[in-house]
Structure 1
Amino acid sequence: MGKGLKVVTIGGGSSYTPELVEGFIKRHRELPVSELWLVDIEDGKEKLEIVGNLAKRMVNKSGVDMKIHLTLDRKEALEGADFVTTQLRVGLLDARIKDERIPLSHGVIGQETNGAGGLFKALRTIPVIFDILNDVEKYCPNAWVINFTNPTGIISEAVFRYTKFKKYIGLCNVPIHLKNDIAKLFNSDSNRISMDFAGLNHMVYGLNVFLDGEDVTKEAISRFVTSDVTMQNIKAIEFNSDFIKSLGVIPCPYHRYYYKTKEMLEDEIKEFKEGKCRGEVVKELEKELFELYKDKNLDTKPSQLEKRGGAYYSDAACNLISSIYNDKKDIQVVNTLNNGAIRDFKDDQAVEISSIITKNGPKPLSIGYLPESVHGLVSQIKSFELLAAKAAVTGDYNAALLALCINPLIPSDELAKTILDEMLKAHKEYLPQFRK
């Protein structure tokens, strides 16, 4: 195994970083990270220093041999790295708030990874991810890039379709969150539960559930429909139990935006009028978190971080890195090239799928065709992703418009154009590809 590993986290000033640091500390015997470089931009300098100092205190308390570096110089950080993780937000939380409030002002769902908000987060983010990949190819060409930045599915589609970069994996905490929640419904440890996941990012389904190797899918669905399983950032509006039983698979929390659109929109409109859309709530949460992080006596991840919505991030990210490094060949859910795993999609399209994780990357598990009950919606979202990726890379206005018109959360073509034009103007600082 040789020398220790160098890991670079771009967007290191994120409030999520203590999750990642905790994950590396817990796994230090199997994943010997000797250098963790936290990188941010000038606008994030203060947060980088605050969270970086907390990271140093956490490492000191643990006694592990890991050096924390803080820098605004991405190229310096990347030199010779083994793994690069990305967790950035172009335009910061103010951009997210626009992504939510502008659609809501037109009576349409406003959410950071779905509908118009998801499109514009992709338009802002993909060019920045491409710049990072270019630097990785120059300064650490053997490094794996693990992207946790949303919208992970659209970003993954763009990377695989418009670059030649191979050592890239998109990652989300939704599948591991859902698996752990299902385990709780069975009063079981999570390691006794296994699930087959397939679909797209934030459009992924649990197809089969096993407890100690026994198929308990029907029982899991029955328990799921009487529970309030969700995530911190998504309201636990109850699914119709007959519908979910008919669906025959377990949806993820983000499916509420599609199966409970009316109820979710009503709730969001209420929050919008009160000045409490999710981005505004998160902004206040982050203020509280960073005040906590400043405490020189704090040397552990605070429990308040769970309210932020990133639960199990460290487990997902660190498990993935450890499995690549140790060639574990275990099964994890990642965003990768389809390569025949889901027959509803082409081989060169990005999917979120249970995969065997090896030192050479993920090998997606074949599930055949998706159930007919979900095929239509998932295919519609894939069309949206393909057009969104094209618009982000080329600055093609018509591709962006068509993406919105196709998305099931946008109810008319005229409304799609109105929202598109307004959001292009609101985000023009971060959309150089559209300036022509």
Structure 2
Amino acid sequence: AYGMRSIGGVIEILDYMEKYSPNAWMLNYSNPAAIVAEACRVLRPNSRIINICDMPIDLMDKMSRMCGIKDRRELQYSYYGLNHFGWWSKIYDKDGNDLMPKIKEHMAKNGYLDGIEHEAGKEQHVEESWIHTFGKAKDVYAVDPETIPNTYLKYYLYPDYVVETSDPNYTRANEVMDGREKKVFGACRDIIAKGTAKDGGFEPDVHANYIVDLACALAENTLERFLLIVPNDGAVPNFDPTAMVEVPCIVGSNGFEKICQGPIPQFQKGLMEQQVSVEKLVVQAWVEGSYQKLWQALTLSKTIPSASVAKQILDELIEANKDFWPELK
């Protein structure tokens, strides 16, 4: 639903950029990043757009703290997947020491909870749902203890748990509006009233730092390593070459170069093939105005138990989003 709402707006902004500033790069955080990235690949294949997500970066901060490392930028890593759907297969410090055994030890006991920084004002995600998510990563990790998972995999591997622990009367959206949104807007009003941001106590989080680092890499040709959402084209050789995968890339003034991750295991490959089909079908549904394709997309999702439930959800979503979606036939 979110993807169907986002595609048109991102394409419109991209077209404005190319009209008025054709040499610019768009650094795109628009969610859901996987579906938006696929839409841009299909509809604007030659555009200078780099799709990113800060969730793996936040998790690398947490893994750094598990290992007593102050700056995640010191980590060298291998990572493969789709947005919100990936795994670390190797993590080293700047001297080449293998950090996976220590991180795995923490993951097996407490998930990512050991990496949460408790100093006031320092956490990126402080809502209760994130505490559950960081803790549940212990069970997500247990499914494949050879890799370190992205937290969002809990929705696909443990949808029953998510339903059991969710309150339909107070959703994640309600939590954000009452928490993070209130905090951000409150800080903005305080800055406006004082006429300065000095001593405001509001600090940028990983989301802000990451996009600035990426902009600097493009502007200053720093050739740093970033996780980007890019066309596969062999970065994961045993996976769909047209898929938009999330893999490490070297970024400089001429754009990015992908770092090949090699063949991936059958378990991850199977999950990714199912999920990338969901994302591709959503984009096809938007482009073609196809009810059938969107029903198929929802049916394939591991978060939905059957085609009949998918149809019921789709019909309700169409009504709720009639002012924001293209018409489906």
With normalisation by structure 2, the TM-score equals 0.87
* CA offsets 1:368-396 (integer angstroms, 9 cap, x no match): 11122322111111111111111122221
Q: Closer, same or farther in 2 for the Cα pair 1:302/1:226, shift >3 Å?
A: farther
Tell me, what secondary structure is at the counterpart of 2:9? helix
Report the CA distance between 1:435 and its aligned residue. Answer: 5.6
Match of 1:207 in 2: 89
Residue among 202, 222, 238 paired with 2:105? 222
Pairwise CA RMSD: 2.2
Residue among 156, 160, 163 paired with 1:265? 163
**Sequence identity of aligned pairs in percent?**
25
Report the CA distance between 1:244 and its aligned residue. Answer: 2.5
Report the CA distance between 1:321 and its aligned residue. Answer: 0.8
Residue among 70, 89, 101 paired with 1:189? 70
Q: Closer, same or farther in 2 for the Cα pair 1:224/1:293, shift >3 Å?
A: same
Between 1:391-400 and 1:341-350, the stretch displaced more is: 341-350
Report the CA distance between 1:338 and its aligned residue. Answer: 1.3
Match of 1:434 in 2: 327
Report matched runs for 1:230-379 at 5 Å: 231-232=125-126, 234=130, 235-236=132-133, 237-239=135-137, 244=142, 246-268=144-166, 271-272=167-168, 275-285=169-179, 286-295=181-190, 296-297=193-194, 299=197, 311-379=205-273
The separation in 2 between residues aligned to 1:217 and 1:299, in whole angstroms, is: 40
The answer on whether the counterparts of 2:75 and 2:91 sit within 8 Å (CA) in structure 1 is yes
The answer on whether the counterparts of 2:104 and 2:145 sit within 8 Å (CA) in structure 1 is no
Tell me, yes or no, if structure 1 residue 153 matches structure 2 residue 34: yes
Match of 1:37 in 2: none
The separation in 2 between residues aligned to 1:125 and 1:245, in whole angstroms, is: 32
* CA offsets 1:291-344 (integer angstroms, 9 cap, x no match): 3321223615966788xxxx4011210111110111111111011111210123
The answer on whether the counterparts of 1:158 and 1:389 sit within 8 Å (CA) in structure 2 is yes
Q: Which runs of no fewer than 5 residues in structure 1 stay unpaired?
A: 1-119
Q: Which runs of no fewer than 5 residues in structure 2 stay unpaired?
A: 114-124
The separation in 1 between residues aligned to 2:242 and 2:254, in whole angstroms, is: 18
The separation in 2 between residues aligned to 1:404 and 1:435, in whole angstroms, is: 14
Report the CA distance between 1:238 and its aligned residue. Answer: 3.0
Report the CA distance between 1:288 and its aligned residue. Answer: 4.5
Task: Report the AA paired with residue 198 of structure 1.
Answer: Y
The separation in 1 between residues aligned to 2:145 and 2:35, in whole angstroms, is: 25
The separation in 2 between residues aligned to 1:227 and 1:194, in whole angstroms, is: 23
Q: Closer, same or farther in 2 for the Cα pair 1:180/1:239, shift >3 Å?
A: closer
Tell me, yes or no, if structure 1 residue 143 matches structure 2 residue 38: no
The answer on whether the counterparts of 2:91 and 2:99 sit within 8 Å (CA) in structure 1 is yes
Q: Closer, same or farther in 2 for the Cα pair 1:331/1:242, shift >3 Å?
A: closer
* CA offsets 1:61-96 (integer angstroms, 9 cap, x no match): xxxxxxxxxxxxxxxxxxxxxxxxxxxxxxxxxxxx
Structure 1 residue ranges (4+ consecutive) displaced by more than 4 angstroms after TM superposition? 230-233, 239-243, 300-306
* CA offsets 1:134-160 (integer angstroms, 9 cap, x no match): 111111111101110110011101101
